[in-house]
Amino acid sequence: MKNFLRNGRLIFSRKQANILSAATVIMVAVAMSRLLGLFRDRLLAGTFFGGQEWQLDVYFAAFRIPDMIFQLLVLGALSAAFIPVFSRYLEKKEGEAYYLSSSVINFLLIFFILLSTLVFIFAEPLVRIIAPAFDPVEMSLMVNLTRIMLLAQLFFCFSNFLTGVIQSHQRFLVPALSPVAYNLGIIFGIVVLSRWLGIYGPTVGVVIGAFLHLIIQLPLALKLGFRYSFVFDWRHPGVRQVARLMLPRTLALAVNQIELTVAVFLATSLAAGSLSIFYFAQHLMNFPIGLFGSTIGQAALPTLSRESREESFDKFKKTFLSSFNQILYLALPASAILLVLRIPAVRIVFGAASFPWRATLLTSRVLAIFSISIFAQAIVQLLVRGFYALHDTKTPFWIGALAVLTNVSLSFIFIFKLDLGILGLAWATTLASFLQTGLLLIFLNRAIGGFDKKEFFIPPIKMGVATILTAVALWVPMRFLDKFILDTTRTINLVILTIIATLSGMMVYFLLSYVLKIAELKSFVSLVKRLGRWQEVLKSSEELITAPNPQSTSKEI
């Protein structure tokens, strides 16, 4: 038992060293966090639907302003600026690196506190801009919830810099597990606090979760040597370099924030519960995107960055296409599963007694629209990093801005001209993602002198054929079991139906992969083996991988 506990502690602090192994570690942690996030959503649906769904809309809308400040100020500095600069200083002199980190943290905390104070004071007019369709009661509630959530962002400010410090030491497991702690805090707020506090329960849970997100990382950061000091050295070259690097990243995030804010603006003008349903469907969609697209894209970035320095892009193309096909191989069947089994999936995840059948159908329809673009949105995660590896941040920025403009324009047309309601918002997101993916592929192809057409087109065509037949293999047993064998009004039978249909579809997919000689089948088998050898994986992984943003409501948590 003593050795077991000692080895368990080593797992959390062990240095990690191999791209696919590191990706596997993050993939498992992301899966845990997102499954817990879906369970959190089920609790929210079960607690507040059936008469109080308007409160849940207000709860989700209240994240918008605090999350926007955090994204622009902290993530803009952390993802593109702080980690690479801190890592270089860490290699030279540890004390100087922590002096730099303290200065950057202090400056950003001061800016964040000032902005948060302004938001706290002017919360009411800001809420009127973001959710003008809310009535006075809803607006008053949103103002209160927004002010409470500002405290959570303060914890996240410090916590995310600890993430950067820990990852710079090439430790990834604890930062990847910190969103699990965050979700547990919200779940505590729903299950325990909401009995007395109502919708304020999960809101206080957000603050508790943010605090846990910080506390779970603090011991490892201190063990690795992190030391905080109250310094403000604007003249330090590292601080100035962080400021220069964060500007373009902040602009890119600002464009995305426009899209997210418009979504809240439009969804809150629709029937009560529309914003919640939109987020529920989006969270289900984001599960495979985060699990496959983000993870593989993050794992490929260090290798693509090294290979982009060579005069010939041959190795870059090979690595990119390998990662591209791996994402497609996993994302395409996920799209088919969510498209065909959308109603069982929504019923299993959100089907509490108080979640009405009308809401179930609407959520499943939104999910069906989203599922069409899962593979495209997963590929974007790799495409953007491909440009970053080429030291080109302008191209993905302008293409992303065009996609956001398209999304916003289509959203207004679909909702107000075609009267599609929340389905219009989903269609706008899906079509804009196709545009973004296509343009990124075209421009990346030009930037590296062109992919080999046979290597680029043949594998996706094979996977597309396999996916279509997989969808049939999913639909047939689902319809047969639902009509003739299982009473799917019972949850256990619904789960059995979903498992049988999914297994049937995946067996067909793997069989067709073997028959069509899809090379990515071997990669999938290798991934499964790595999951079985998780202790060896933790011993051997080392590449820098960014942990997912733990607290955005618009992206899956």
Compute the chain's Rg from CA coordinates.
23
The phi-psi region of residue 310 (left if phi > 0; otherwise alpha if psi is between -120 and 50; otherwise beta) is beta
Q: What's residue 376's pLDDT?
A: 93
pLDDT at 93 over 80: no
Per-residue pLDDT at 39 exceeds 50: yes
Domain contains 532:
no
Mean pLDDT throughout 32-45?
89
- pLDDT single digits (tens) 3-28: 433 444 444 445 544 445 556 666 77
Q: Which domain holds residue 57?
A: 50-261
Token pair, residue 284, equals 């289900």
- Measure Cα distances from 508 to 235, 374, 505, 525 in Å: 62, 20, 5, 16
Residue 389 reports pLDDT greater than 50: yes
The structural domain count of the chain equals 1
- Domain-located, residue 119: yes
pLDDT, residue 531, reads 56
Q: Is 122 part of a structural domain of the chain?
A: yes
Supply 192's token pair.
């325990």
Q: Can you give the pLDDT at residue 541? A: 45
Residue at 113 is within a domain: yes
How high is the pLDDT of residue 557? 40
The 10s digit of each residue's pLDDT in 139-175 is 999 999 999 999 998 898 888 888 877 877 767 677 8
pLDDT, tens only, 461-519: 999 999 999 999 999 998 888 888 877 778 788 889 999 999 999 999 999 999 998 88
* pLDDT digits 0-9 by tens, 194-217: 989 999 999 999 999 999 999 998
- In angstroms, what CA-CA distances link 98 with 92, 106, 226, 230, 267? 12, 12, 6, 11, 44
Residue at 366 is within a domain:
no
Residue 332: inside a domain, yes or no? no
Q: Count CB-CB contacts under 10 A for residue 125.
A: 9
Q: What confidence tens digit (pLDDT) does each residue in 254-290 have?
A: 887 888 889 999 999 888 889 999 999 999 998 888 8
Q: Does a structural domain hold residue 171?
A: yes
Burial 479-508 (b: 16+ CB within 10 A, else e): eebbeeebebeeeeebeebbebbbebbbeb
What is the average per-residue pLDDT within 316-338? 89
pLDDT tens string 218-234: 888 888 887 878 878 77
> What single DSSP character describes residue 452?
-
